[in-house]
Amino acid sequence: MASQPPSMKPGPSQQAGVAAETPPPATTEAKKPVREKETARETVESVVFAFVLAFLFRTYVAEAFVIPTGSMAPTLFGRHKEVTSSETGYRFEVGASTEILRDGNIVVSRIQRALCPYSRFSEPQAYQAPAFKGDRILVNKFIYELQDPQRFDVVVFKYPEDSKTNYIKRLIGLPGETIRIQGGNVYRIGGNQHAEILRKDDPNKQQAIQIPVYNDAYPARNLRAAGWPERWAGVQLDNRDTPLTVAGWSESENAWTLDDHARSYTLSSEAAAQGERHWLRYRNFVPVRQTWERFRTKRDLEPAPRLIGDFCSYNATSESLATPDTDEVFWVGDLTVSGTMQLGKPAPDAEVTLELTEGLHWYRCHLNPTTGQARLTRTDTSLDPEEEIEMATATTRFRGAGKYTFRFANVDDRLCLWINQTLIDFGSAAEYESSSVHGMLPQESDYTPVGIAARGVEMTVSNLLLERDIYYRGRYMPNENDSLLLGNVEEWRKSYLNHRQEWDILEYKIPLGEYFVLGDNSPRSSDSRFWESTHTVPRDAFVGKAFFIYWPHGIPIGVEQGLAFRLSYHKKFAGGELVTDKEYPLHYFPFYPNFWRMQRIR
């Protein structure tokens, strides 16, 4: 800060009405200032004032909350565990709030097993994994004094059936609207019963709440050694009758080559020079419980593709030695694929194609590495695959040889493309309106819903990740046989049509001054769908908007190696008394903060 100039204010002798005083004689040594002692009263006043400020801040500005349960997972974690898969090496979170009573750390049961999201292997180390309290978040309590709650806000409110309890959910429906949940999407019903899909205005916000389906960096290694197929493979559409032919796509040779160590796929220069598209496709070969039973007994694995379901590994736990249920029921068609491309020098007619299949349509993004142009098209399965309907065009920086990251999404009836983390603006032409049949009925092509093709350019693809959108359920409560239907598309369609109202559709008229809320973890959320006395939240029940995870949890160091110190333990009932559970530590030392989950809540 710059120093202030000397004061030009007149001295006492120059001020009107004030008698002049004779200045004291100059001394050779300046007097030292005398420091006044702070009295006990002043100390008390300072402490009280600090507490008042903190109270006012907590009451009117912001307050910290702890998430107890997993109803908002994976956006927010309640009490949970982190498990490292022995089959894939992937580290994932599972809910553990059912282990204890709602208040305190009294154990009523313990999680024994959890399912790896990619291999579906039943991981026994979930039992010994440390348990962490839920995310600690900051809630902006002042914002709703200035404006009304907005759709898709993550909100904290007083539970309508018990005003002493705070709930946290995502706001979906606004006052006076008629809301319909159908096919995993949320619609607003307007005039003439027209259903308008409610999509997130900011695609980057949509991107933040996607749920992983498959990360190619974490294959099931033991299954692969026993003959389980890779999910990504070079294929050609020739309808050969082979065990690995999926929706007419058969594995091809001498086009795409897998580098297993780097988990990358390379299209050779010889294949690129042939002037035709060479397809690399994802086939949803997901292991199931029977797969691992056959693996243990050294029988043929009998791989078969499945529809992508609303599986959430956070929920896939068991409090016995039995393999956990998957809790997946519904087919999910809203998908996002991302990865990295390393391009060689493109030929004049070079083209890279990204494809996402959903029901009756195939949605494509054609990228020209010579000009940087991107084209969005749609193809009906009833038409020739090459007969495409133009949707939109835009200019990108996908031009020339080099390394590019990409992300292509078909979510909420809108196509989105990111190149090098930059969202490409296609405008409203990238949006479409699907029919109810299209939105809810899968086809055989949905067994292999993602494709990447190239011609005229040598290319290596890596870091492949497939994600899905949140699937909002109606009031349907699944049974143990529902997930089996995802392996038979015809049976799934038949069952869906026979139980459509029961399974998937919920429609509700929201009163004025009320709001409709849902949890991101739709299968395990107590929200507006299930409350008994009311299905909405009144305006005056809102506490504020959740905006930041400031402390996810501390990560203990050396637990698996037995090096961490156990500071405290859970409690349990034994012989009618509450005792310390010496087999279940609660806190460890040393630890470090989980920095990468300290983030804004979207």
Q: What is the CA radius of gyration of the chain?
A: 30
Tokens of 391: 């949707």
Counting the structural domains of the chain, the total is 1
Band of the pLDDT at 504, cuts 50, 70, 90?
confident
User: What pLDDT score does 436 carry?
Assistant: 52
**Percent of the chain at pLDDT exceeding 70:** 87
Return the SS3 of 139.
strand
Q: What is the pLDDT of residues 311-334, one digit of tens each?
A: 999 999 999 989 998 888 899 999
Mean pLDDT of 57-62: 58
Instruction: Report the DSSP beta bridge partners of residue 232.
Output: 282
Residue whose structure tokens are 């319909």: 180
Return the SS3 of 374.
strand
Q: What is the pLDDT of residues 122-153, one digit of tens each?
A: 999 999 999 999 999 999 999 999 999 999 99
Whether residue 16 lies inside any domain: the answer is no
Domain of residue 369, CATH code: 2.60.120.560
Whether residue 396 lies inside any domain: the answer is yes
Domain containing residue 276: 215-283+332-468
Instruction: Report the DSSP beta bridge partners of residue 215.
Output: 465
CA distance 540 to 243: 60
Opening angle at CA 104, ends 103 and 107, nearest 5: 105
Residues 6+ apart with CB under 8 A from 551: 135, 136, 593, 598
Closest alpha carbon to 183 in 569, 522, 515: 522
In contact, 76 and 92? CB cutoff 8 Å: no
Q: Is the pLDDT of residue 14 over 90?
A: no
Return the higher-pLDDT residue of 396 and 8. 396
Whether residue 526 lies inside any domain: the answer is no
**What's the whole-number average pLDDT of the chain?**
88
Whether residue 504 lies inside any domain: the answer is no
Q: Is the pLDDT of residue 35 over 80?
A: no
Mean pLDDT of 482-502: 85
> How distant is the alpha carbon of residue 289 from its chain centre?
25
Band of the pLDDT at 11, cuts 50, 70, 90?
very low
Whether residue 140 lies inside any domain: the answer is no
User: What pLDDT score does 59 carry?
Assistant: 53
Closest alpha carbon to 522 in 291, 328, 324: 328
Residues 6+ apart with CB under 8 A from 448: 235, 246, 247, 249, 281, 282, 283, 284, 305, 357
In contact, 161 and 537? CB cutoff 8 Å: no
User: What pLDDT score does 464 carry?
Assistant: 98
Q: Is the pLDDT of residue 16 over 50?
A: no
In contact, 414 and 199? CB cutoff 8 Å: yes
Whether residue 25 lies inside any domain: the answer is no
User: What pLDDT score does 13 carry?
Assistant: 36
Burial classification of residue 557, based on how many CB atoms lie within 10 Å of its CB (0-12 exposed, 13-18 middle, 19 or more buried): middle
In contact, 408 and 365? CB cutoff 8 Å: yes
Mean pLDDT of 544-564: 90
Whether residue 437 lies inside any domain: the answer is yes
**Percent of the chain at pLDDT exceeding 90:** 71
Whether residue 313 lies inside any domain: the answer is no
CA distance 437 to 442: 9
Peptide bond into 74 cis (omega under 30): yes
Q: Is the pLDDT of residue 50 over 90?
A: no
Q: Is the pLDDT of residue 564 over 60?
A: yes
Q: Is the pLDDT of residue 21 over 60?
A: no
Return the SS3 of 44.
helix
Residue whose structure tokens are 């898969």: 85
Q: Is the pLDDT of residue 343 over 50?
A: yes
CA distance 212 to 345: 33
Burial classification of residue 118, based on how many CB atoms lie within 10 Å of its CB (0-12 exposed, 13-18 middle, 19 or more buried): buried
Q: What is the pLDDT of residues 95-130, one digit of tens each?
A: 999 999 876 789 999 999 999 999 999 999 999 999
Peptide bond into 229 cis (omega under 30): no
Q: Is the pLDDT of residue 26 over 60?
A: no
Q: What is the pLDDT of residues 462-486, one digit of tens each?
A: 999 999 999 999 877 666 667 778 9
pTM: 0.88
